[in-house]
Amino acid sequence: MSPRTPLRQQLGRTKGADDSMAIPNAETEVQESPAALSKEKLLAAYRTMLMGRRIDEKHLILLKQGKSFFHIGGSGHEAAQTAAASALKPGFDYSFPYYRDLSFCLELGFTPKDYFLSALHRADDPGTGGRQMPGHFGRTDLRIITQSSPTGTQYLQAVGVAMGSKKEGKGEVVYVSSGEGSTSEGEFFEAINWAAREALPVIFFIQDNKFAISVPVAQQTAGGSVYEVTKGFKGLERYNVDGTDFQETYRAVTEAVDRARTGGGPTLIVANVVRLLPHSSSDDHRKYRTKEDLELDKARDPIPKMAAWLEEEGYLSKEDASAMADDVRAQVDAAVEEAESHGLPDPATVTMHVYGKAHVNPKREMDEVEHKGKKVVMVDAINHALHEEMERNDRMLVFGEDVADGKGGVFTATKGLSTKFGPERAFNSPLAEASIIGVAVGLGLKGWKPVPEIQFGDYIWPGFMQIRDELAMMRYRSNGTWPAPMVIRVPVGGFIHGGHYHSQCIEGFMAHIPGIRLAFPSTAADAKGLLKSAIRGDDPVIFMEHKGIYRQGYASSPEPDSDYVLPFGLASVRREGTDISVITYGAMVQKSLEAARKMKEKGVSVEVVDLRTINPLDQDTVFESVRKTSKVLIVHEDTLTAGFGGELAALISEHCFESLDGPVLRVGALDTPVPYSPPLENAMLPGEKKILEALDRLAGY
């Protein structure tokens, strides 16, 4: 096929940008791409394909030698990947390659040495510093964003980067790829929906090799192709190409890039490729593929196909092809030798890059400020903090379900933001929590400051994969090169007769995740100061707001001024005492204070410590209080089993054992869902009565 021949989409192409636009049939021709395929470009692409194949072969040898521990190959995908990268601008456009995208990364500028530094788990691995398995590409100078193993999480992040790119108006394009199996994930369709709805400059490049490990595409996808499944998305252009044909794929990607760069919106390209190796070095595809099937794939191998075409066009002789293959082999061997000369990671660096620097080592001598503003309830203090910080930082974005005016959030925490700052900076999202968090991750990677709202803590779980495996991991897995700071605001807690699904506390789950900071204020002033600190910081933060005290008078405070920022990691002693320490946070602070006042009537002096933040945890204030009183009660609203109180109890037992004159006691919710009926809710949740009973028990020691 000549590079000057118009590409005929024998597998089909549709336009979905406008209902009035005719949908071409499978014989529609695609106009010749404006980017010419010169002889030099074609030969360079062929060399990249050879390089990708030889790296696969060499890595498998290293695996047998015990020098590497895992391999996942791209053999059979080289033409599609190289074509896609050839259409992009390295270092300008952004890419989210998936684990097979070796040839894509090579074409962008990744080197064989880069690859083998990763394969041989060396400290100088540019993508992860030895923190991730091979195939997890990343390089900041090439704008290859750090990748992970979970399939499908990258789509929404790509949409977030594309959203940021569109807002900046520089013409950047975002590439995101996967195999066809990953398109079974719901997040794929959420990403397509958001990108199509907002005409975002993102290219979804699906490398369809017909197998998700061992599961054939017919058992994955209705109609046997995601190309058919996505035809209903208005605003999405689609291509279905032969991914073993470099020229055909290149033209499709070039048209998609041109469309995205000029504001036309997203494109889905399904590149039909072959998988010439097992899924990974842990797989044996002979268990589920017939010999005939494997031979059919070998017959479509893109490398001899490209070589034959180059020879037919007079661009490459057999002698030149052989010389190029020898040169590639020598370059790969040299890259392995050089990579092996680099050192392994220093074990002392294992804890580096979990967090940023903003919330580390707060000044312990900080005095509590006496605020002079008018008294304000917590939800209004939060609202004012958002207004002030959006005024201060024009790259801050607030979005979520119902956050725009006139609703202004179901609790009015975001009221007035979209009116004051416009729908470009404060806007409603789809009702999809994974979308909210995944898009926010992408915006954070792009350098924006997303402050999304999850409407209720009970509904954060569809986004948990994005939190646990993506947001929390970004800085660490990229060796500190791709942080994604953001603040997830989320109302939590019971005492509002909200039943099972409007009452949950989530801090026990979230405290188990390295890489996420956690705030849980109990007063309006603290909420405002901590929220400002979270927004100005450089870490991902889950900012938990107890909706039961949003408008309680006891949680109200004189309002801090716009410059007040409360550092994370500083607990507050809400009540001084000498006999028993109560360690608590959130809505339990007020209930503990009420119990402490009643214990005073019995002659027992109770100290109440409000943690304010769970990560970082102010261990010093906790330990000082316990060593002073020698008795401690931990109170939290979450269920008792595996609640954060268990961690506090373990720390106190370890560090304060010799000071203790009684057992470390805990009060928490019963291990049941939160019921709706008030008598049941009150029986399940911890209250003043349960706290008093525990304090009486401790007082007896």
Q: List, by residue number, the catalytic residues.
A: 502
CA–CA separation, 170 vs 260, rounded Å? Answer: 12
Closest CA to 207 of 184, 233, 240: 240
Other CB atoms within a 10 A radius of the CB of residue 454 amount to 24
Please list the residues that pair with 489 across neighbouring strands: 453, 543
> Is pLDDT at 599 greater than 90 in this prediction?
yes
Band of the pLDDT at 25, cuts 50, 70, 90? very low
Please list the residues that pair with 139 across neighbouring strands: 144
Closest CA to 37 of 204, 253, 205, 267: 253
Residue 178: helix, strand or coil by DSSP? strand
pLDDT score for 238: 98
Q: Which residue has the tokens 């002789």?
A: 317
CA–CA separation, 390 vs 12, rounded Å? Answer: 46
> Is pLDDT at 390 greater than 60 in this prediction?
yes
**Rounded mean pLDDT, 115-121:** 97
Give me the helices (H) in 430-523, please.
433-445, 464-465, 474-477, 507-510
CA–CA separation, 67 vs 59, rounded Å? Answer: 9
Ramachandran sector of residue 213 (left: φ over 0; alpha: ψ -120 to 50; beta: rest): left
Angstrom distances, CA of residue 556 to CA of 13, 524, 589: 60, 5, 13
Please list the residues that pair with 607 across neighbouring strands: 581
CA–CA separation, 59 vs 279, rounded Å? Answer: 14
Q: Which residue has the tokens 């199996």?
A: 181
pLDDT score for 647: 98
> Is pLDDT at 16 greater than 90 in this prediction?
no
Percent of the chain topping pLDDT 90: 92
CA–CA separation, 213 vs 100, rounded Å? Answer: 13
Closest CA to 615 of 696, 677, 544, 528: 544
pLDDT score for 230: 96
Report yes or no: 413 and 400 within 8 Å, Cβ to Cβ. Answer: no
Report yes or no: 136 and 148 within 8 Å, Cβ to Cβ. Answer: yes
Report yes or no: 279 and 216 within 8 Å, Cβ to Cβ. Answer: no
> Is pLDDT at 690 greater than 50 in this prediction?
yes
Q: Which residue has the tokens 């909210």?
A: 436
Q: Tell me which CATH code domain 40-348 carries.
A: 3.40.50.970
Closest CA to 509 of 496, 518, 500: 518
Give helix 318-340 / helix 39-64 axis angle, nearest 10°. Answer: 50
Give me the helices (H) in 553-700, please.
588-601, 619-629, 644-656, 678-684, 688-699
Contacts of 327-330 with C-beta under 8 Å, sequence gap 24+, read 328/47, 328/50, 328/51, 328/54, 329/54
What's the token pair of residue 287? 């268990």
pLDDT score for 364: 72
Report yes or no: 336 and 122 within 8 Å, Cβ to Cβ. Answer: no
Report yes or no: 109 and 158 within 8 Å, Cβ to Cβ. Answer: no
264-294 per-position pLDDT tens digit: 999 999 999 999 999 999 999 999 999 999 9
pLDDT score for 206: 97
497-554 per-position pLDDT tens digit: 999 999 999 999 999 999 999 999 999 999 999 999 999 999 999 999 999 999 999 9
pLDDT score for 362: 74
Show Cβ contacts of residue 308 under 8 Å, excluding neighbours closer than 6 positions: none
* Global confidence as pTM: 0.94
**Rounded mean pLDDT, 299-315:** 96
Q: Which residue has the tokens 């028990």?
A: 697
pLDDT score for 10: 39
Closest CA to 506 of 361, 328, 516: 516
Q: Which residue has the tokens 């058992």?
A: 219
CA–CA separation, 195 vs 369, rounded Å? Answer: 46
42-69 per-position pLDDT tens digit: 999 999 999 999 999 999 999 999 999 9
Other CB atoms within a 10 A radius of the CB of residue 345 amount to 18
Q: What do you get for the CA distance between the two ends of the chain, in Å? A: 89
How do beta strands 540-546 and 486-492 pair?
A: parallel
pLDDT score for 27: 31
pLDDT score for 388: 98
pLDDT score for 367: 75
456-479 per-position pLDDT tens digit: 999 999 999 999 999 999 999 999
> Is pLDDT at 3 greater than 90 in this prediction?
no
Closest CA to 633 of 672, 596, 597: 596
CATH 3.40.50.920 residue ranges for the chain: 573-699
pLDDT score for 586: 98
What's the token pair of residue 666? 């805990």
CA–CA separation, 371 vs 98, rounded Å? Answer: 51
Report yes or no: 546 and 587 within 8 Å, Cβ to Cβ. Answer: yes
Give me the helices (H) in 491-551, please.
507-510, 524-536
What's the token pair of residue 500? 């099972």
Percent of the chain topping pLDDT 70: 95
* Residue 453: DSSP 8-state: B
Give helix 112-119 / helix 39-64 axis angle, nearest 10°. Answer: 20
375-558, CATH topology level: Rossmann fold (3.40.50)
CATH 3.40.50.970 residue ranges for the chain: 40-348, 375-558
Phi, psi of 23 (to 5 degrees): -95, 115
> Is pLDDT at 361 greater than 90 in this prediction?
no
What's the token pair of residue 448? 């924006």
632-656 per-position pLDDT tens digit: 999 999 999 999 999 999 999 999 9
**Rounded mean pLDDT, 288-311:** 96
pLDDT score for 246: 97
Q: Tell me which CATH code domain 573-699 carries.
A: 3.40.50.920
CA–CA separation, 416 vs 419, rounded Å? Answer: 5
CA–CA separation, 377 vs 366, rounded Å? Answer: 24
Phi, psi of 216 (to 5 degrees): -70, 155
pLDDT score for 6: 35
Residue 192: helix, strand or coil by DSSP? helix
Band of the pLDDT at 34, cuts 50, 70, 90? very low
Average pLDDT over all residues of the chain: 94
* Residue 225: DSSP 8-state: -
Residue 128: helix, strand or coil by DSSP? coil
Q: Which residue has the tokens 């979905």?
A: 16
Q: Which residue has the tokens 């207004």?
A: 387
How do beta strands 202-208 and 174-179 pair?
A: parallel
> Is pLDDT at 163 greater than 70 in this prediction?
yes
With 0-12 / 13-18 / 19 or more C-beta atoms within 10 angstroms meaning exposed / middle / buried, residue 171 is middle
pLDDT score for 291: 95
Show Cβ contacts of residue 304 under 8 Å, excluding neighbours closer than 6 positions: none
> Is pLDDT at 332 greater than 90 in this prediction?
yes
Q: Which residue has the tokens 């007896």?
A: 700
CA–CA separation, 412 vs 491, rounded Å? Answer: 12
Band of the pLDDT at 35, cuts 50, 70, 90? low
